[in-house]
């Protein structure tokens, strides 16, 4: 009696979807229908009467994935998805903490700090405590704090085996204290606080244990240790975890993701059978062959091989360019020809390892008049003008929010200088009160000097209180509009010459509030909920959707997407795989997984390109081809290089221009910058720098995986390669 929506599943998929009530691990390869299986599992559980919508909890990493899941479920089942808990880890934890804020020892309207806010708060604490920011950089403190929280460790549980750690621990403790005083939580805190809430409150745990019989997790390989512990707590002994993931696509170890959770899940939940989804519905055969061969080099794998019933398709096209400029030129020409053949621009992706690489590509595309869209960069709710407006709203929602107050107390400027600020900060610190209270007290003591009305500390306080009164009883979008208008933000950006875009964004914020209120999924449309929404869902960062434009993004952001044609550019040793990854544990394996993700984005055509020289950080760098080229069978690749003559001339010209001072070295010896060389011990490399002459002449060679080496020409047994 399989419902009609199950037709069209392959055997493995069907097995996964209709598994009996038990914990399971679905190893779902790229393009194997992972999201389909996950959503159908939910639909099947409900449709077959095994589960009520309220007993389902589904977790994803991004809001986009959560929305997608809800849409697909609604399409299959005529049910109200409101009772279902589908969301991101952070979103679900937020929901739980709001519902039980008292038990979690949080104010009802607790605010959420994004990473910017968190860093600002840490900076503030370091300054107040007179900590040397050189020795204890705020970024490192943030990393330390978040790392500890993700390990489930509070400040009092932190190590103090050396001076550095003792100091960090102290900062962590102060930070915890300050957050609690202000009633704010950072992203990691959402998870940890929720975890502790469930761990320490048995009645509550029992409540949720008896409710969520079915826990489903998307992208399980991306979970961190704390998220796994949270899941474990929610599952208890009776409930089933249905985890879908792909260890080969684990590319977020650097932010705490632990693919080891896949092994732990099998152990902790006695998972008997791991179901592998290996049939790929996306790519042609050669593309999969290349991806399979590459990823097979990794040692730590659960093991998986993608296959397709589709044709072998086209070989991978490999292009070696002399310079990054030339590489970009090649890509532009190929894109044009693909477009002429009828491939939509939006169905073509240009992938690269790091964001800095997009510039030269953008330049070439712009000159060629090709429409393109760059992913990444600043998101809507992270823009300064939007954050300013949100800070006003935050202060209206809660007096205690020092972070919000500091952001806007003198913006737009109203004559509150650093001295005044220091005074109220000292007063607040000494008496452990909020800056708002301190400010009020100070102006009270000074009898509100008859200065320019609306200026100074008193002016600020009067204004905030006026805003509070005026927005009483208004609807959310009206509140937002009123605050933008009467805080002085609007006037400020109207007079700024670069303020037009910012004004538009402020208008957009009012629209966002209206959309939020109009969203049927949203039960509570109060100010605090909107602020949480803004923090948890930073918003899209790209405008003009729907236009047919080429897609530019990093390999990381391409995960989960697919395109007719994909260009992977900058495939140079040191860039991709990135040199920094070599010092990390299993760094190369993670780079290889990233390359695997990039390869498997392509449905039909795949281009791999690299440049012998490239501008990076303001200097020309010379590199050899990525070692990944040696890991893909040569038979799968079609080399489409331009004429050898051009290849010979280009690098030496560039080298001579960039390094005029070493011209002597160059003319008197057979070596030149950009030259490919071979060394008996280090293998192939490229000369990237030179100094000295005669017997003192030394050259710096980039050996790729072995790094940069200075070699004395007199002794080193270098040969031209």
Partner DNA sequence: TTCCAACTGTTTTTT
Partner DNA sequence: ACAGTTGGAA
Which are the catalytic amino acids? Answer: 34-35, 218-219, 249, 601
State how beta strands 698-702 and 708-712 pair.
Answer: antiparallel
Cα atoms in the Cβ-side hemisphere of radius 13 Å centred on 397? 28
Segment near DNA (CB under 7 A); pick from 60-68, 155-163, 306-314, 626-634 = 60-68
Q: Give the DSSP letter string of 73-140.
A: HHHH--S-GGGSEEEEHHHHHHHHHHHTTTTTT--TT-EEE-HHHHHHHHHHHHHHTT--TTTS-HHH
Contact call for residue 90 and DNA (CB under 7 A):
yes
Q: How far apart are CA 306 and CA 667, in angstroms?
A: 53
Residue 64 makes contact with DNA by CB under 7 A: yes
Cβ atoms of residues 380 and 386 within 8 Å: yes
According to DSSP, the residues that pair with 602 across neighbouring strands are 563
Region at 626 (left for phi over 0; alpha for psi -120 to 50; beta for the rest):
beta
Nearer to DNA, 256 or 674 (CB): 256
Contact residue for DNA among 581, 600, 612, 675 (CB under 7 A)? 581
Other residues' Cβ atoms within 10 Å of the Cβ of residue 194: 25
Tell me whether residue 458 or residue 481 sits nearer to DNA (CB atom).
Answer: 458
Query: Which of 537, 572, 573, 589 forms a contact with DNA (CB under 7 A)?
Result: 537
Q: Which residues contact 692 (CB under 8 A, 6 or more apart)?
A: 665, 698
Q: Is 580 in the site for DNA (CB under 7 A)?
A: yes
From the CB of 56, what's the least distance to DNA, in Å?
20
Which member of 18, 279, 305, 410 binds DNA (CB under 7 A)?
410
The one segment of 19-27, 398-406, 480-488, 573-581 that binds DNA by CB under 7 A? 573-581
Nearest-angstrom CA–CA distance, 434 and 60: 36
Site for DNA in 326-355 (CB under 7 A): 353-355
80 vs 521, beta carbon nearer DNA: 521
Q: Which parts of 199-258 interact with DNA (CB under 7 A)?
A: 251-252, 254-255
Closer to DNA by Cβ: residue 90 or 284 = 90
The secondary structure of 351-420 as a DSSP string is EESSGGGHHHHHHHHHHHT--EEE--S--GGGSHHHHHHHHHHHHHH-TT-HHHHHHHTTSS--S--HHH
Instruction: Among 260, 368, 429, 615, indicate the residue that binds DNA (CB under 7 A).
Output: 615
Does 261 participate in binding DNA (rule CB under 7 A)? no
Among 152, 376, 488, 683, binds DNA (CB under 7 A): 376
Give whichever of 338 and 386 is closer to DNA, judged by the CB atom. Answer: 386
| SS (HEC) of 679-694 | ECCCEEEEEEEEECCH
Answer yes or no whether residue 274 interacts with DNA by CB under 7 A. Answer: no
Q: From the CB of 640, what's the least distance to DNA, in Å?
A: 27
Span of 59-67, 154-162, 197-205, 342-350 interacting with DNA by CB under 7 A: 59-67
Distance (Å, whole) CA 41 – CA 720? 60
> Does 487 help bind DNA (rule: CB under 7 A)?
no
> Residue 61 interacts with DNA (CB under 7 A)?
yes
**Binding of DNA by 678 (CB under 7 A):** no
Residue 187, interface with DNA (CB under 7 A)? yes
Alpha helix ranges (H) inside 448-488: 456-471, 476-486
Question: Which is nearer to DNA, 55 or 118 (by Cβ)?
Answer: 118
Does 554 contact DNA by CB under 7 A? yes
Give 523-592 as a DSSP string: S--SHHHHHHHHHH--------TTS--EEEEETTTTTT--EEEEEE---BTBBTTBGGGGGSTTHHHHHH
Give the nearest distance from C-beta 216 to DNA in angstroms. Answer: 17
Among 214, 394, 578, 593, the residue binding DNA under the rule CB under 7 A is 578
DSSP 7: T
Token representation of residue 49 = 């009467």
If the CB atoms of residues 127 and 312 are measured against DNA, the closer one turns out to be 127
Residues that bind DNA (CB under 7 A): 61-64, 88, 90-91, 114-115, 123, 187, 251-252, 254-255, 353-356, 359, 376, 410, 413-417, 536-538, 553-554, 556-557, 578, 580-581, 584, 594, 615, 617-618
């Amino acid at each position: 009696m399989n419902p009609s929506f199950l037709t069209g599943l392959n055997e493995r998929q069907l097995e996964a979807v209709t598994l009996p009530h038990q914990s399971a691990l679905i190893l779902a390869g790229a393009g194997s229908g992972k999201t389909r299986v996950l959503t159908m599992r939910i639909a099947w559980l409900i449709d077959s009467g095994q589960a009520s919508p309220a007993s389902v909890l589904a977790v994803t990493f991004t809001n986009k994935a959560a929305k997608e899941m809800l849409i697909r479920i609604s399409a299959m089942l005529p049910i109200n998805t409101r009772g279902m808990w589908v969301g991101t880890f952070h979103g679900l934890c937020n929901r739980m903490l709001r519902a039980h804020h008292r038990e979690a020892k949080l104010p009802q309207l607790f605010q959420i700090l994004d990473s910017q806010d968190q860093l600002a708060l840490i900076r503030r604490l370091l300054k107040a405590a007179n900590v040397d920011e050189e020795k204890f950089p705020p970024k490192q403190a943030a990393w330390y704090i978040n790392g500890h929280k993700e390990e489930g460790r509070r400040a009092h549980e932190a190590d103090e085996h050396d001076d550095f750690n003792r100091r960090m621990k102290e900062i962590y403790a102060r930070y915890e204290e300050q957050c609690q005083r202000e009633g704010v939580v950072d992203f990691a805190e959402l998870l940890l606080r929720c975890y502790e809430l469930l761990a320490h409150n048995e009645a509550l745990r029992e409540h949720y244990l008896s409710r969520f019989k079915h826990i489903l997790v998307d992208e399980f390989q991306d979970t961190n240790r704390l998220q796994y512990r949270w899941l474990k707590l929610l599952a208890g002994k009776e409930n089933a975890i249905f985890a879908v993931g792909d260890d080969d696509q684990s590319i977020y170890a650097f932010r705490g993701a632990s693919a080891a959770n896949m092994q732990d899940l099998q152990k902790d939940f006695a998972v008997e059978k791991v179901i592998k989804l290996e049939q790929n519905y996306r790519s042609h055969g050669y593309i999969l062959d290349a991806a399979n061969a590459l990823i097979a080099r990794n040692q730590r794998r659960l093991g998986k091989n993608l296959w397709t019933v589709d044709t072998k398709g086209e070989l991978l096209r490999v292009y070696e360019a002399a310079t990054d400029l030339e590489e970009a030129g090649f890509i532009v020409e190929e894109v044009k020809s693909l477009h002429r053949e009828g491939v939509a621009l939006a169905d073509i992706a240009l992938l690269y390892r790091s964001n800095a690489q997009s510039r030269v590509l953008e330049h070439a595309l712009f000159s060629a008049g090709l429409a393109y869209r760059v992913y990444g960069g600043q998101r809507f709710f992270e823009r300064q003008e939007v954050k300013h407006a949100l800070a006003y709203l935050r202060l209206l929602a809660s007096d205690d929010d020092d972070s919000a107050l500091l952001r806007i107390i003198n913006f737009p400027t109203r004559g509150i200088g650093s001295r005044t600020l220091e005074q109220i900060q000292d007063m607040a610190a000494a008496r452990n009160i909020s800056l708002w209270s301190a400010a009020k007290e100070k102006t009270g003591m000074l009898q509100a000097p008859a200065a320019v009305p609306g200026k100074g500390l008193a002016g600020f306080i009067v204004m905030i209180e006026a805003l509070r009164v005026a927005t009483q009883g208004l609807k959310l979008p009206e509140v937002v509009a009123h605050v933008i208008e009467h805080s002085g933000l609007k006037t400020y950006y109207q007079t700024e010459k670069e303020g037009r875009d910012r004004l538009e964004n402020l208008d957009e914020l009012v629209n966002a509030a209206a959309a939020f209120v109009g969203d049927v999924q949203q039960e509570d449309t109060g100010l605090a909920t909107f602020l949480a929404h803004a923090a948890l869902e930073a918003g899209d960062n790209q405008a003009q959707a729907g236009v047919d434009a080429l897609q530019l993004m990093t390999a990381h952001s391409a995960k989960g997407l697919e395109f007719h044609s994909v260009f992977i550019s900058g495939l140079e040793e040191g860039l991709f795989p990135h040199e920094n990854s070599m010092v990390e544990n299993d760094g190369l394996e993670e780079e290889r997984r990233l390359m695997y993700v990039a390869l498997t984005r392509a449905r039909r055509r795949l281009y791999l390109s690299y440049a012998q020289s490239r501008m990076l950080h303001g200097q020309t760098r010379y590199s050899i081809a990525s070692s990944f080229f040696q890991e893909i069978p040569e038979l799968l690749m079609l080399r489409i290089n331009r004429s050898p003559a051009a290849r010979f001339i280009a690098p030496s010209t560039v080298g001579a221009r960039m390094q005029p001072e070493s011209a002597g070295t160059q003319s008197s010896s057979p070596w030149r910058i950009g030259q490919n060389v071979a060394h008996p011990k280090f293998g192939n490399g490229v000369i990237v720098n030179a100094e000295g002459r005669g017997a003192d002449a030394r050259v710096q060679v980039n050996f790729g995986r072995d790094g940069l080496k200075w070699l004395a020409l007199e002794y080193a047994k270098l040969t031209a390669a």
